């Protein structure tokens, strides 16, 4: 079964909810092709690249709050959705995103010159993938004037031609508008009229009218949170209605081949599995994962605090901000023109140029002082909130720094900053030597601030990086141009590249969605067992069972489980060691130990064949620990017998 | 002059909600501007509708006959109902098809062959729709409903059909159920395909912003498809813009995808009397004033019901549970067609035809068993076992 996500602008938060549910309860549905347009394409890409949902959420929320902070919303000239998306995609997508997405991700685009729909699924590089996603989300005039190029042709938002690309008959369609889609909100209003725009069916109800407006005007974080929950619930309802929820421990991945034509295409599962039933019941009452909810709470709190919000809570203030629009708008427009000019001048060719320009901007002296200032501010406030990537932190910091300043002041201030940036950029272009000089200065600044750490030793740095995100950030900012040897530079880059993966892990441990690993497990491991059988409808059914306990990927298991499993692993290794070393030294104990091991392995084997009894007792985990701890106290010859005795007892109890 | 009079009349009345009345006046004037009398804004022509219908129905392989049935003064002075008949020689129980809002007989083109293979089939344009005559219906919801139902009954009398299987889609489903309530003896089986007007309007709403309510209020007095008529010559283009999916459903069978759009436009750009009747039966954007779930228990238990839904349809499926509950003792079968939307007969024609034919088959077997003096009650137990869900 394929998935298809509708394009929907800021309503993309609905897709986050749906993605959450699929990750949690039906990861096997994510193995096939996923298509989408605009925001849907980005959601599809995130799902394929296995990005943590928490990050996706905070990402969407950040863009929304960014848009809401302006008096004209997303339509403010200085709000550059294109750049925000670019930054976020650059930041979060893994290096091999294009490899993962090729053939799986299908992005719907509208060709600029003839308005025809094009579905892309071949991406040669990460830049190309990002470019395709951006093109798919490009609304002319709203996002910019010149549509982006992809493989030499200019494209715009896929929503103009095919907003809900379906690849075949068995496509599950996801749309945040109530209408004729598999997963969509069900409104309690209209019962008759609906329209079909660009393949997305939209019922003409009051709620849909509200949603349509919210495509480009992001609502409050509270409303976004509700939309996300709605997505989760709708997806869950769909999965439940179609019996697509399976249990994860026995992880039966089922495929069906239709031998002869049958009407019924529903996937069926083994109805006997108790755990599946339990899982389904649990799913019925479940809610959006805590990790996502916490992100929402954060955003809501952030929106409801601060001086600006307090001021603008009052209607009078709102009116005032609208009335002063004629005065603030020109400044905003001016500022926007400058920033746009800057981005275009650097962004025209490729994304690499954009990155370089960011670096140039950074290197200049004035910019540096400003950055370090705002950075310090951020540090004092809340260290965790600062994202690791420079460009984004700059964003956040400027917001934070000027949260109390009125919009007008913002514009002027940023304008002057941009002007200075521009000037220094030009200077840099003229004189490259000077640029290097200034770079040195910045780095020294960094050292004096953090004299505790030794920049020279890279090993130390690595370990510090892990613990202190802020420090990494600083490093990346300065980009260490003072280390002139290419080797050193490479190493720092390595650190930088590794860093996002670190944050991913961190959020994952916070996440409760332990189910995305199933995908990983199925792709990495062989099955323990597979049944092939022909049912009465002439369908060949395949059920594959995977062993989850042995996969050592960190996200598959909780830290506790992992520890236990590692102990088990040591046990196995230990036996080899015994065979190699101990055999010659002490034959008695070696015999005993090896015998024990065989017994233990025999005991362990039913784990796979009998999934229900497998995880009930903790004795499997306890054994090796006891065994290891007993190493010091007891004579070795006694151990196995004791163990065996205990096992026998337990078996008796179990019987 | 007439117009001025009208406006004056409204202003003269000292009323409580003056604003809403002024608004009504504006709406009426706007409607009178776009009415066909004035400069022929819309492009309706009887001959065009006829030729379009003929071309669409040319894909039906079974020989068919189209004719007007004169049902006399039911609503207007002399009402006619446009009828398509197929395979009338067959002795089996005939199948009668009632279309949905804004549709016509031609939209059944993907299903007629399959139905006509086994039995006589009659498809009609409901009074006030398609090519049938368009008298002005009552503005009272119950009266309008009764008028529409009585037109069907008169039509049946005119054709001298003793009993038949009644299949209705969307609004046609509502009317079919209403017909079965009034004349249960004629209906051997009631097949409802994604019927409209069954669930009750929920008492509590999710709150929407004020400006949405304002828009909704402004839209209220308009007929559902007024936009198509207001678009005038752009109507077909407009339909194609907002509902490209309809012509796409027929793309496999029909070479010219414009046919369906044009046909729908021609059906709906005439005097919208049937639509007004529907508007009268409806309250607040698509809910029925007299929802069918409240009345379905009054239906004679002998009438078997097959309920069909498209799995993607936005029609509220909750009504099916209530019907099932209320009709414990009689035949009730629920079928959900996966992958189909509201237009289930065009989305998945094969699956739809199969379900309908199965239902018809059960009627045939019932009649045979009646001949052999087996009591009906016995039969009613059997279907319950195979009813889904």
Which domains can be identified in chain B, with CATH numbers?
Answer: 2-43+202-283 (no CATH), 46-194+289-384 (3.40.50.1820)
For the segment B208-232, the average pLDDT, to the nearest whole number, is 82
Q: For A207, which residue in chain B has the nearest alpha carbon? A: B208
State yes or no: pLDDT of A50 exceeds 80.
Answer: yes
The residue ranking higher by pLDDT, A168 or B285, is A168
A437 CB-near residues (< 8 Å, 6+ apart): none
Question: What are residue A612's DSSP bridge partners?
Answer: none
Q: Answer yes or no: do A192 and B243 touch at CB < 8 A.
A: no
- Rounded to a whole number, what is the distance in Å from the CA of A183 to chain B's nearest CA? 9
Q: What local confidence, expressed as pLDDT, does residue A404 receive?
A: 36
The residue ranking higher by pLDDT, A336 or B164, is B164
Sorting pLDDT into bands at 50, 70 and 90, what band is A313? Answer: low
- Rg for chain B (alpha carbons), in Å? 22
Sorting pLDDT into bands at 50, 70 and 90, what band is B54? Answer: very high
Q: For A241, which residue in chain B has the nearest alpha carbon? A: B311
**B249 vs A contacts (CB less than 8 Å):** none
Query: In chain A, what percentage of residues exceed pLDDT 90?
Result: 3
pTM of full prediction above 0.80 = no
Sorting pLDDT into bands at 50, 70 and 90, what band is A275? Answer: low
State yes or no: pLDDT of A350 exceeds 50.
Answer: no
| A201 phi/psi in degrees, rounded to 5 | -90, 130
Structure tokens, A446: 């960094």
Q: Answer yes or no: do B286 and A199 touch at CB < 8 A.
A: no
3-state SS of chain B is CHHHHHHHHHHHCCCCCHHHHHHHHHHHHHHHHCCCCCCCCCCCCHHHHHHHHHHHHCCCCCCEEEEEEEEECCCCCCEEEEEEEECCCCCCCCEEEECCCCCCHHHHCCCHHHHHCCCCEEEECCCCCCCCCCCCCCCCHHHHHHHHHHHHHHHHHHHCCCCEEEEEECHHHHHHHHHHHHCCCCEEEEEEECCCCCCCCCCCCCCCCHHHHHHHHHHCCCCCCHHHHHCHHHHHHHHHHHCHHHHHHCCCCCCCCHHHHHHHHHHHCCCCHHHHHHHHHEECCCEECCCHHHCHHHCCCCCCEEEEEECCCCCCCHHHHHHHHHCCCCCEEEEEECCCCCCHHHHCHHHHHHHHHHHHHHHHHHHHHHHCCCCHHHHHHHHHHHCCC
Over residues A298-307, the pLDDT tens digits come to: 777 777 776 6
**B208 vs A contacts (CB less than 8 Å):** 206-207, 210
- Assess A485–B contact: CB distance below 8 Å, yes or no: no
Question: Cα A189 to the chain's mean position, in Å?
Answer: 35
Q: Annotated catalytic residue: which of A35, A38, A201, A225?
A: A38
Pick from B101, B197, B245: CB nearest A196: B245
| d(C-alpha A40, C-alpha A3), whole Å | 10
Q: What local confidence, expressed as pLDDT, does residue B387 receive?
A: 38
Q: For A205, which residue in chain B has the nearest alpha carbon? A: B285
Q: What local confidence, expressed as pLDDT, does residue A647 receive?
A: 54
Residue B324 CB burial class (10 angstroms; 0-12, 13-18, ≥19): middle
Q: What local confidence, expressed as pLDDT, does residue A57 receive?
A: 86
DSSP A202: E
Query: Any idea which of A156-160, A202-206, B101-105 has the lowest mean pLDDT?
Result: A202-206
State yes or no: pLDDT of B41 exceeds 80.
Answer: no
| B162 phi/psi in degrees, rounded to 5 | -80, -55
Over residues A449-460, the pLDDT tens digits come to: 343 444 444 444
Q: Answer yes or no: do A189 and B285 touch at CB < 8 A.
A: yes
Q: Answer yes or no: do A186 and B215 touch at CB < 8 A.
A: no
Q: Answer yes or no: do B341 and A192 touch at CB < 8 A.
A: no
Q: What local confidence, expressed as pLDDT, does residue B82 receive?
A: 94
Q: What local confidence, expressed as pLDDT, does residue B386 receive?
A: 38
Average pLDDT value for chain A? 64
Nearest-CA neighbor of A368 among A514, A226, A477, A455?
A477
Structure tokens, B48: 């065009």
**Cβ atoms of A20 and A191 closer than 8 Å:** no
3-state SS of A123-153 is CCCHHHHHHHHHHHCCCECCCECCCCEECCE
A398 CB-near residues (< 8 Å, 6+ apart): A374, A414
A-proximal residues of B, 254-293, CB under 8 Å: 282, 284-288
Q: Answer yes or no: do A196 and B213 touch at CB < 8 A.
A: no
Nearest-CA neighbor of A462 among A485, A482, A492, A501?
A492
| d(C-alpha A87, C-alpha B233), whole Å | 47
- Assess B72–A contact: CB distance below 8 Å, yes or no: no
Over residues A413-454, the pLDDT tens digits come to: 777 888 888 888 887 777 655 444 333 333 333 333 343 444
Per-residue b/e over A479-489, b at no fewer than 16 CB within 10 Å? bbbbbeeeeee
**Which of A180, A199, A202, A266 is the best residue to mutate to test the B interface, defined by the most B CB atoms within 10 Å of its own CB?**
A180
Provide the 10 A C-beta neighbour count for residue A547: 17
DSSP per-residue string spanning A386-452: S-SSHHHHHHHHHHHHTTTS-HHHHHHHHHHHHHHHHHHHHHHHH-HHHHHHHHHHHHHHHHHHTTT
Nearest-CA neighbor of A59 among A72, A78, A45?
A45
Q: For B211, which residue in chain A has the nearest alpha carbon? A: A210
ipTM (interface pTM): 0.76
| d(C-alpha A377, C-alpha A382), whole Å | 9
**Which of B196, B227, B286, B314 is the best residue to mutate to test the A interface, defined by the most A CB atoms within 10 Å of its own CB?**
B314
Pick from A210, A265, A266: CB nearest B212: A210
- Assess A95–B contact: CB distance below 8 Å, yes or no: no
Q: Annotated catalytic residue: which of A157, A162, A508, A513?
A: A157
State yes or no: pLDDT of B103 exceeds 50.
Answer: yes
B-proximal residues of A, 184-213, CB under 8 Å: 186-197, 199, 201, 203-207, 209-210
Residue A78 CB burial class (10 angstroms; 0-12, 13-18, ≥19): buried
Residue whose structure tokens are 């830290």 = A559
Sorting pLDDT into bands at 50, 70 and 90, what band is B142? Answer: very high
What long-range pairs does A503-509 form, CB within 8 A, spacing at least 24?
A503/A55, A503/A388, A503/A469, A504/A51, A504/A52, A504/A55, A505/A554, A505/A555, A507/A52, A507/A54, A507/A55, A507/A291, A508/A52, A508/A555, A509/A559
Q: Answer yes or no: do A182 and B199 touch at CB < 8 A.
A: no
State yes or no: pLDDT of A293 exceeds 70.
Answer: yes
Structure tokens, B68: 């007007």
- Rounded to a whole number, what is the distance in Å from the CA of B291 to chain A's nearest CA? 12
Q: What local confidence, expressed as pLDDT, does residue A620 receive?
A: 40
| d(C-alpha A601, C-alpha B94), whole Å | 72
Give me the count of residues in chain B: 389
- Rounded to a whole number, what is the distance in Å from the CA of B361 to chain A's nearest CA? 19
Q: What local confidence, expressed as pLDDT, does residue A152 receive?
A: 84
State yes or no: pLDDT of A253 exceeds 80.
Answer: no
DSSP per-residue string spanning A216-253: TS---HHHHHHHHHHHHHHHHHHHHHTT----TTTTEE
**Cβ atoms of B343 and B243 closer than 8 Å:** no
DSSP A31: G
Q: Answer yes or no: do A189 and B284 touch at CB < 8 A.
A: yes
Q: For B316, which residue in chain A has the nearest alpha carbon? A: A191
| d(C-alpha A511, C-alpha A526), whole Å | 26
**B173 vs A contacts (CB less than 8 Å):** none
A84 CB-near residues (< 8 Å, 6+ apart): A62, A63, A66
Q: What is the β-pairing status of strands A153-156 and A149-150? A: antiparallel
For the segment A132-159, the average pLDDT, to the nearest whole number, is 85
- Assess B102–A contact: CB distance below 8 Å, yes or no: no
Q: Answer yes or no: do A192 and B170 touch at CB < 8 A.
A: yes
- Rounded to a whole number, what is the distance in Å from the CA of B29 to chain A's nearest CA? 25
**In the annotation, is A38 catalytic?**
yes
Sorting pLDDT into bands at 50, 70 and 90, what band is A519? Answer: low
Sorting pLDDT into bands at 50, 70 and 90, what band is A646? Answer: low
Q: What local confidence, expressed as pLDDT, does residue B56 receive?
A: 92
DSSP A78: T
Pick from B170, B314, B339: CB nearest A203: B314
């Amino acid at each position: 079964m394929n998935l298809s996500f509708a394009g929907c602008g800021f309503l993309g938060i609905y897709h986050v909810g749906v993605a959450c549910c699929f990750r949690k309860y039906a990861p096997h549905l994510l193995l096939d092709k996923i298509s989408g347009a605009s925001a849907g394409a980005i959601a599809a890409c995130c799902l394929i690249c296995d990005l943590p949902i928490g990050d996706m959420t905070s990402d969407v929320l950040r863009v929304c709050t960014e848009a809401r902070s302006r008096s004209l919303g997303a339509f403010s000239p200085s709000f550059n959705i294109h750049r925000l998306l670019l930054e976020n995609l650059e930041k979060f997508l893994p290096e091999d995103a294009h490899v993962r997405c090729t053939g799986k991700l299908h992005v719907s685009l509208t060709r600029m010159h003839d308005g025809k729909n094009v579905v892309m699924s071949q991406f040669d590089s990460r830049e190309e993938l990002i470019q395709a996603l951006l093109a798919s989300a490009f609304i002319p005039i709203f996002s910019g004037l010149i549509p982006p190029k992809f493989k030499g042709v200019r494209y715009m938002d896929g929503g103009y031609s095919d907003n809900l690309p379906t690849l075949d008959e068995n496509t599950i369609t996801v749309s945040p508008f109530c209408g004729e889609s598999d997963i969509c909100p069900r409104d309690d209003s209209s019962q008759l009229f609906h329209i079909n725009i660009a393949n997305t069916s939209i019922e003409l109800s009051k709620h849909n009218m509200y949603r349509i407006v919210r495509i480009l005007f992001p609502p409050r974080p509270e409303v976004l949170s509700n939309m996300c929950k709605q997505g989760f619930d709708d997806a869950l309802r769909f999965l439940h209605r179609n019996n697509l929820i399976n249990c994860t421990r026995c992880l039966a991945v089922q495929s069906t081949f239709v031998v002869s034509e049958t009407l019924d295409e529903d996937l069926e599962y083994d109805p006997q599995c108790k755990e599946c039933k339990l899982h389904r019941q649990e799913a019925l009452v479940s809610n959006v994962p805590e990790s996502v909810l916490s992100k929402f709470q954060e955003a809501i709190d952030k929106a409801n605090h601060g001086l600006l919000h307090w001021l603008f809570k009052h209607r009078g203030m709102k009116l005032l901000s609208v009335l002063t629009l004629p005065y603030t708008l020109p400044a905003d427009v001016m500022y926007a023109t400058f920033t746009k000019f800057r981005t275009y001048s650097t962004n025209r060719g490729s994304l690499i140029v954009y990155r370089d320009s960011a670096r140039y901007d950074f290197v200049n002296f004035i910019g540096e002082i400003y950055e370090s200032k705002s950075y310090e501010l951020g540090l004092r406030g809340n260290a965790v909130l600062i994202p690791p990537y420079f460009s984004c932190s700059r964003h956040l910091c400027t917001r934070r720094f000027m949260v109390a300043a009125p919009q007008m002041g913002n514009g002027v201030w940023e304008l002057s900053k941009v002007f200075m940036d521009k000037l220094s950029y030009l200077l840099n272009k003229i004189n490259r030597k000077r640029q290097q000089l200034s770079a040195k200065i910045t780095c020294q600044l960094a050292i004096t601030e953090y004299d505790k750490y030794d920049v020279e030793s890279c090993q130390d740095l690595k370990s510090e990086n892990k613990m202190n995100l802020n420090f990494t950030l600083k490093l990346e900012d300065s980009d260490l141009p003072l280390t002139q040897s290419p080797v050193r530079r490479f190493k720092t880059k390595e650190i930088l590249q590794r860093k996002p993966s670190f944050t991913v892990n961190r959020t994952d441990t916070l996440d409760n969605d332990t189910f995305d690993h199933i995908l990983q497990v199925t792709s990495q491991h062989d099955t323990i067992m597979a049944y092939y059988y022909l049912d009465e409808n002439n369908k060949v059914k395949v059920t594959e069972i995977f062993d989850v306990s042995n996969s050592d990927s960190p996200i598959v298991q909780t830290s506790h489980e992992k520890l236990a499993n590692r102990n088990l692993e040591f046990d196995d290794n230990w036996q080899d060691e015994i065979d190699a070393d101990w055999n010659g030294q002490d034959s008695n104990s070696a015999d005993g130990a090896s015998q024990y091991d065989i017994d233990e392995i025999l005991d362990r084997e039913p784990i796979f064949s009998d999934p229900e009894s497998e995880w009930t007792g903790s004795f499997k985990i306890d054994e090796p620990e006891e065994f290891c701890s007993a190493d010091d106290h007891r004579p070795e010859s006694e151990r196995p017998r004791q163990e065996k005795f205990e096992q026998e007892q337990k078996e008796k109890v179990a019987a | 002059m007439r117009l001025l009079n009208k406006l004056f009349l409204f202003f003269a009345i000292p009323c409580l909600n003056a604003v809403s009345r002024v608004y009504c006046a504006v709406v009426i004037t706007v409607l009178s501007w776009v009415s066909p009398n004035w400069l022929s804004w819309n492009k309706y022509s009887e001959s065009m509708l006829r030729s379009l219908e003929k071309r669409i129905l040319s894909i039906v392989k079974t020989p068919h006959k189209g004719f007007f049935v004169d049902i006399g003064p039911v609503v207007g002075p002399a009402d006619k109902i446009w009828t398509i008949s197929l395979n009338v020689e067959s002795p089996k129980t005939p199948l009668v098809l009632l279309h949905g809002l804004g549709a016509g007989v031609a939209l059944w083109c993907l299903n007629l062959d399959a139905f006509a293979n086994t039995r006589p089939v009659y498809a009609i344009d409901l009074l006030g729709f398609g090519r049938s005559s368009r008298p002005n219906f009552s503005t009272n919801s119950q009266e309008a409903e009764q008028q529409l139902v009585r037109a069907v009954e008169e039509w049946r009398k005119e054709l001298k059909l003793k009993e038949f299987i009644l299949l209705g889609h969307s609004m046609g489903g509502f009317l079919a159920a209403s017909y079965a309530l009034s004349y249960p003896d004629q209906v051997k089986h009631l097949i409802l395909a994604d019927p409209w007007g069954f669930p009750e309007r929920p008492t509590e709403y999710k709150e929407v912003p004020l400006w949405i309510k304002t828009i909704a209020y402004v839209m209220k007095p308009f007929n559902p498809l007024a936009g198509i008529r207001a678009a005038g010559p752009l109507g077909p283009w407009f339909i194609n813009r907002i509902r490209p999916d309809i012509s796409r459903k027929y793309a496999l069978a029909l070479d010219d995808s414009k046919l369906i759009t044009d046909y729908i436009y021609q059906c709906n750009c005439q005097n919208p009397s049937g639509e007004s009747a529907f508007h009268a039966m409806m309250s607040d954007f698509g809910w029925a004033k007299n929802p069918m779930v409240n009345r379905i228990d009054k239906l004679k238990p002998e009438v078997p019901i097959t309920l069909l839904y498209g799995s993607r349809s936005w029609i509220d499926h909750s009504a099916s549970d209530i019907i099932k509950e209320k009709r414990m003792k009689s035949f009730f079968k629920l079928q959900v067609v996966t992958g189909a939307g509201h237009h289930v007969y065009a989305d998945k024609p094969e699956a739809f035809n199969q379900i309908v034919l199965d239902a018809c088959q059960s009627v045939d077997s019932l009649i045979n068993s009646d001949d052999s003096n087996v009591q009906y009650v016995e039969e009613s137990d059997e279907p319950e076992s195979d009813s889904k869900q």
